[in-house]
Amino acid sequence: MDPVAEEFLETYKRVDKFIAESFSIERNGMSEYISMMEACSGQMFQNPDRKDDYYTLKHLRWVRNQLVHEIGAAEKGVCKDSDLQDLRAFYGDLIAGDDPLAQFLGKRRKKAFFSSPPPAAAASGCGCLIPLICAIPAAAVLICFLNFFISFPAA
């Protein structure tokens, strides 16, 4: 297998696992993350950068699926070095709490709600990253739900 494709798959597994553990889901972390972005697409995609992020993540998921499910995809050059760089950048943003959903929800609001880590996170040295990320799906869904009903006047 192409070394770039191999590194891409390993990095993708790390990202997928990080998202799944952070959101307390069993599997398909990247797909769940993309679904959360889609749930807020009306508001979130008003920022062109967020829309670009969304399409980049969908492309990265497509690359992963090609490498895993299509025979000879690695040799066909499906995975480019730029794909690996994009995936690494997204992983770094996730770890730093500067990913697209975090940016959409606003760091200040999240910090106000999650100023101290739970005991398990503090003991493991995770700081407040885990509760911060775990709150993203619930907060994103709530915000999108409220924005939907607020934007339509009562009949």
Q: 84-133, pLDDT tens digit by residue? A: 999 999 999 999 999 998 888 774 354 444 444 444 444 434 333 444 44
Burial class (CB in 10 A: 0-12, 13-18, 19+), 12: buried
Specify the amino acid at residue 62: W
Q: What is the pLDDT of residues 33-81, one digit of tens each?
A: 999 999 888 888 888 889 999 999 999 999 999 999 999 888 888 999 9
Q: How many whole angstroms separate alpha carbon 148 and alpha carbon 40?
A: 10
**pTM of full prediction above 0.85:** no
The helix/strand/coil state of 27 is coil
What's the confidence (pLDDT) of residue 43?
A: 83
